[in-house]
Chains A and B, each alone.
Chain A
Amino acid sequence: MPYDVSIERLQLFSLFDLKGPRQGLTDWAGDVLNHLPKAPNQLSREDGVELCHTGANRWLLRAEIGMETDLEAKLRLETAPPEISIVKISDTMTFFRVTGEDAIQVMSIGCPLDLHADAFAAQAVSFTEFFNCRALVLRCRGGFDVAVEQSFADMIADYLDRATI
């Protein structure tokens, strides 16, 4: 039988690329960034803001697009000190939501990461590959969110159509 899965191309999220020492970021925008996860490849959620630890001194902030203006104001991108970098990248990534009984199977067609619950728990997040494109993967209710650079989004949608025939 074909896969029991639902695939949705999501609307934009508010996305901010955060770089620099953890202390520097929290000193600058502690009211938004006070829950920066300490462990790599982990995320934390608070007040509608997800903070993903994606690399050494690198984080990604994700929130609903409606929060973008407010977050931009709180993060004060243009005046942040040189020791940290905060860049709005909301338009750079397109998210796909893969949910359903067979979500992990469909993900495994494109993603080399081990997404088994033992290896990729609820708070896990990681950059990896999805159909050979650099991609961010995290869990959502009933499945996974996977984001690729937006210019590849049509191709990824094409792949997902083929994968779920």
Chain B
Amino acid sequence: MQVDRLAAGGRIDRGRPLSFTFNGKAYQGFAGDTLASALLANGVRLTARSFKYHRPRGIIGSGVEEPSALVELTGDDASANQPATTVQLRDGLQAKSVNCWPSPVVDFGSVNQMISRFLPAGFYYKTFKWPNWHLYEPSIRKAAGLAAAPQNPPAGGHFENRFGHCDILIAGAGPAGLMAALVAARAGKRVMIADEGREAGGSLLNRRLTINCRDAAHWVAETIAELNTLANVTHLQNASVWAYREHNYLMVTERTSDNPSLIERNWRVRAGHVICATGAIERSLVFGNNDRPGVMLASAAQSYVNRYALRPGKRAVIFTNNDSAYAVANDLATAGVDIAAIVDSRNEVPREVRATIQETDVFAGHVVTTTKGGRKLRGVEVAPVEGGKSQQISCDLLAMSGGWNPAVHLWSQSRGTLRYDDQLACYVPDQPAQASSSVGAADGKLTLKEAMKSGADAAASLCATGPAAIPQSDDIDYSISPLWRVEQAQGPAFLDIQNDVTVDDVHLALREGYDNIEHVKRYTTGGMGLDQGKTGNINIVGTVALQKDVPLQDLGPTTFRSPYTPVSFGAIAGIREGSVVQPYRHTPITEWNLDRGAFMYEAGARWRRPGYFPRDGESFQDTVNRECRTVRNGVGVYDGSPLGTYELKGRDVGRFLDHIYSNIMSTLKPGQGRYGLMLSDDGLILDDGVALRLDEYRWIVSTSTGHADAINSHMEELLQTQFPDWNVFITTVTSQWNNATICGPRARDVLAALSTDIDTSSQALPFMTFADGQVAGLPARVVRVSFTGELSFEINVAPRHMRELWAKIMEAGAPHGIEPIGSEANHVLRVEKGFLSLGHEVDGTVDAHDLGMGWVMSKKKSDYLGKRSVNLRREGEAVRRELVG
């Protein structure tokens, strides 16, 4: 039974009840609820245990800022460590608490509370040093408790990753973002507006404000309706802009889309300009036992009562240092919550703010020093700021507001600078680093009117239109007097609730010399949880500032990093799973190879090639031996198509090849080829291959499979940077030519059986020559080269003919016992023959002399790439290893 649900109001659909379970117990909520709001409506206050001390924890926030109520989803939704405040309720949802066993009510790990004084920040680093950290790591990680990754992939659906482009990307569809979108869209700009909420409106959904004398929700609905009619607007709702990279490249994860088979879609957006309308996040206050279930951000309490129509408590105390919490008190009172008191740390409360609250005790110049209770809040201790007698006030809800932090995360990720605003007591955007601007609460414009105007002005400025009309709105002004911590706090005062970091931990870090704010962060882990310290980071900075007696501007916030909110790996990977998780390349013979049971693997440059063709009962070695014997004694055939092949054309090709090969190529006559080595600048072997001369100006250069792309880049770089005036064109023809290489003593017989008009005798077609003609009725180029050391004919044809050629070779070769051979046998044959085996003997550290191939180093050429380095090395005294067989 939803004991704390209000009878009316809210943005939930009471006509659509939803059943769910939490820690195995059945509950009911409504469409429009989050898991957090549904739990609160059902009277559930204790939702988790804390990460380190296993202290009882409840729901503190109402959105992405939630530091406490993490849950693990099971069943079809299986995923770990989800803030309950961002989990949309659905029928059949199953969730359970994290950091506890067997339950948050009875948690064996809570024994840590008894020894918490012995577990300060840095405890692990200091204690688990001997014999080494890794001995302890598994058990500590298990005890630390966050939920594990799901065992299985999602039950259905898939992820998607796509690119997006726009003139203006607006992050956030609150009042400022919507105004900016409206102005820009009306001006004809391509606008993308992305908002992380389930519905647009931002803070307007949680507060009771009016725009143009009507409920603000009407204005939101009308604005969205207009935007959705415009073809130049892409509106992504329930979509988080979570990363802001260079050149206005941003990541947006959309959790719902018009395609029901999609689980999530990640957009990679390139924007002309970015408007950060990301709002502001309320920060917590730092006092004793400020983590007890029932302590909640004031804005969250306001959201629960207004948006989700529930009472987060029966009797509330409001603790604040600023004006915004007074509206919360009003809203809670309207919903029937008894407001026991407002505790305001400021000695002077603005009169107009005070006037909004009638018949409520306001304790100005007072603070909450600690909370009372166990697994839920029973009361608070209140004392004057300057010290003095305290009094206890009973309550089951403490709504706290430590002020507002503009959500500058994206702005900061873009490398825009921040400055500390004394009046607002927070960091606000200063100078942009990219084409971006910040508007609304994200820019420190904390009243509705200011926010809407700043959004409209920013868009109007970008679109070069006149000032836009701003709707009328009501909101009170905002003022604050910062309170970074309650001096007379009794009990642990948490700065980072998710990582259990207290004021004492920060003081310890400072005492131990970690006085840079980034060091404090790492030593204490403050701000390093899943929530990235959204509610507490600035309090850590404030605590350090107080302790060191330096202004906050001099400390600066810690670096904001992506992702702004946790992102699933699936959304990042998109459709790249299963067979496409790694790139792959096929030749026309791939299917034939697979049909013959070839064992396929990647053999460089993403080509899938047959390693060997096993037969029943053969071991791997048996197969390789058999394939080698076939080539040595009879005839084999392999698919050599993946070798890199380039056509070079121009007057200067000869001298260019003389430069990049260690031997001379320019003396070749048309129809001839030569094997050669390419060296790197430092004289080490880069690649080997064969150059063929087609005619006076045209050449073919073949490279190894794995180095094909690198050699292409190498040649282009030389031509573009060192020899820009040389007349050389390079065209990649790797996939214009496929080749089937027939090798073995009976290779010539098979070629003859194929029928060819080329004279393949050793006199007419000697080693390292080639001829064009017809083979098996197909246009072909036959090249006399040998990879295996046996008599070989490399038959090159266009890929469109490759399957036919292959079939005819197998048919013509059958009487001669032809067999396909894989890469393994090829390598064995090559090494047996004493040929260089790239990737095995050549690993980027050897030169030609190391391999006994000094003969390939020209003594006639005055210079070539790598020559000087080889000579210098050879002239030295250093001992080098040599291949001896």
Of the candidates A2, A133, A158, which one forms a contact with B579 in the assembled complex, judged by CB atoms under 8 Å apart?
A158
Of B138-146, B200-208, B646-654, the one touching chain A: B646-654
Give the chain A neighbours of B734 by CB distance below 8 A. Answer: 92, 149, 151
The answer to whether B161 and A109 touch across the interface, beta carbons within 8 angstroms, is yes
Give the chain B neighbours of A109 by CB distance below 8 A. Answer: 160-163, 574-575
- Kindly report which residue of chain B lies nearest to residue A94, judged by CB atoms: B735
The answer to whether A150 and B735 touch across the interface, beta carbons within 8 angstroms, is yes
Of A41-49, A77-85, A135-143, the one touching chain B: A77-85
The answer to whether B270 and A151 touch across the interface, beta carbons within 8 angstroms, is no
Give the chain B neighbours of A152 by CB distance below 8 A. Answer: 583-585, 606
Query: CA–CA, A119 to B694, complex, Å?
Result: 43
The answer to whether B260 and A150 touch across the interface, beta carbons within 8 angstroms, is no
Query: CA–CA, A20 to B574, complex, Å?
Result: 41
Of B39-47, B87-95, B725-733, B750-758, the one touching chain A: B725-733
Give the chain B neighbours of A30 by CB distance below 8 A. Answer: none
Query: Does A64 interact with chain B (Cβ within 8 Å)?
Result: no
B positions within 8 Å CB-CB of A: 158, 160-165, 190, 258-261, 268, 270, 574-575, 578-580, 583-587, 590, 606-607, 642, 647, 649-651, 694-695, 697-698, 727, 729, 731-736, 798-800
Given A12-B800, A91-B800, A151-B607, A111-B163 contact (CB < 8 Å): yes
- In the assembled complex, 7 residue pairs joining A and B whose CB atoms fall closer than 8 Å, in A order, are A3-B259, A78-B695, A87-B647, A87-B733, A89-B731, A151-B735, A163-B160
Query: Does A165 interact with chain B (Cβ within 8 Å)?
Result: yes
Interface set, chain A 124-165, CB cutoff 8 A to B:
131-133, 149-155, 158-159, 162-163, 165
B506 to chain A minimum Cβ distance, whole angstroms, is 44
Q: In this complex, which of B584, B607, B649 has the most chain A Cβ atoms within 10 angstroms of its Cβ?
A: B649
The answer to whether A78 and B698 touch across the interface, beta carbons within 8 angstroms, is yes
Query: CA–CA, A116 to B694, complex, Å?
Result: 44
The answer to whether A82 and B649 touch across the interface, beta carbons within 8 angstroms, is yes
The answer to whether A151 and B261 touch across the interface, beta carbons within 8 angstroms, is no
Contacts A151-B735, A152-B585, A158-B580 supplied; 19 other A-B pairs, CB < 8 Å? A1-B260, A2-B261, A82-B727, A85-B729, A85-B731, A89-B731, A89-B736, A91-B798, A91-B799, A92-B732, A93-B735, A108-B163, A109-B161, A112-B268, A149-B735, A150-B799, A151-B607, A154-B590, A162-B158
The answer to whether B260 and A85 touch across the interface, beta carbons within 8 angstroms, is no
The answer to whether A151 and B583 touch across the interface, beta carbons within 8 angstroms, is no
A positions within 8 Å CB-CB of B: 1-3, 12, 17, 19-20, 78, 82-85, 87-93, 105, 108-109, 111-114, 116, 118-119, 131-133, 149-155, 158-159, 162-163, 165
Of the candidates A2, A17, A92, A114, which one forms a contact with B735 in the assembled complex, judged by CB atoms under 8 Å apart?
A92
Give the chain A neighbours of B799 by CB distance below 8 A. Answer: 91, 150
Query: CA–CA, A113 to B165, complex, Å?
Result: 9
A102 to chain B minimum Cβ distance, whole angstroms, is 10
The answer to whether A1 and B729 touch across the interface, beta carbons within 8 angstroms, is no
The answer to whether B583 and A116 touch across the interface, beta carbons within 8 angstroms, is no
Give the chain A neighbours of B798 by CB distance below 8 A. Answer: 90-91
Nearest first, the 7 A-B pairs at minimum CB distance are A85-B729, A151-B585, A114-B165, A85-B649, A92-B735, A87-B731, A162-B575
Query: CA–CA, A91 to B258, complex, Å?
Result: 39
The answer to whether A116 and B165 touch across the interface, beta carbons within 8 angstroms, is yes
- Kindly report which residue of chain B lies nearest to residue A149, judged by CB atoms: B735
Query: CA–CA, A27 to B166, complex, Å?
Result: 43
- Kindly report which residue of chain A lies nearest to residue B258, judged by CB atoms: A1
The answer to whether B735 and A91 touch across the interface, beta carbons within 8 angstroms, is yes
Give the chain B neighbours of A150 by CB distance below 8 A. Answer: 735, 799
Given A19-B729, A109-B161, A149-B735, A82-B650 contact (CB < 8 Å): yes
B56 to chain A minimum Cβ distance, whole angstroms, is 45
The answer to whether A132 and B583 touch across the interface, beta carbons within 8 angstroms, is yes
- Kindly report which residue of chain A lies nearest to residue B575, judged by CB atoms: A162
- Kindly report which residue of chain B lies nearest to residue A57, judged by CB atoms: B729
Give the chain A neighbours of B606 by CB distance below 8 A. Answer: 152
Give the chain B neighbours of A92 by CB distance below 8 A. Answer: 732-736
The answer to whether A162 and B580 touch across the interface, beta carbons within 8 angstroms, is yes
Give the chain B neighbours of A131 by CB distance below 8 A. Answer: 580
Of the candidates B268, B590, B650, B695, which one forms a contact with A85 in the assembled complex, judged by CB atoms under 8 Å apart?
B650
Give the chain A neighbours of B158 by CB distance below 8 A. Answer: 162, 165
Given A12-B800, A19-B731, A91-B798, A155-B583 contact (CB < 8 Å): yes
The answer to whether B697 and A82 touch across the interface, beta carbons within 8 angstroms, is yes
The answer to whether B163 and A91 touch across the interface, beta carbons within 8 angstroms, is no
A104 to chain B minimum Cβ distance, whole angstroms, is 10
B573 to chain A minimum Cβ distance, whole angstroms, is 11
The answer to whether B162 and A108 touch across the interface, beta carbons within 8 angstroms, is yes
Give the chain A neighbours of B647 by CB distance below 8 A. Answer: 85, 87
Give the chain B neighbours of A12 by CB distance below 8 A. Answer: 800
Given A116-B190, A118-B190, A165-B158, A159-B607 contact (CB < 8 Å): no
Of the candidates B163, B190, B268, B727, which one forms a contact with A83 in the assembled complex, judged by CB atoms under 8 Å apart?
B727
A82 to chain B minimum Cβ distance, whole angstroms, is 4
Query: CA–CA, A28 to B579, complex, Å?
Result: 47
Give the chain B neighbours of A87 by CB distance below 8 A. Answer: 647, 649, 731, 733, 736
Give the chain B neighbours of A91 by CB distance below 8 A. Answer: 735-736, 798-800
Query: CA–CA, A84 to B736, complex, Å?
Result: 20
A150 to chain B minimum Cβ distance, whole angstroms, is 5
Give the chain B neighbours of A114 by CB distance below 8 A. Answer: 165, 270
Give the chain A neighbours of B733 by CB distance below 8 A. Answer: 87, 89, 92
- Kindly report which residue of chain A lies nearest to residue B268, judged by CB atoms: A112
- Kindly report which residue of chain B lies nearest to residue A112, judged by CB atoms: B163
Query: CA–CA, A132 to B582, complex, Å?
Result: 11
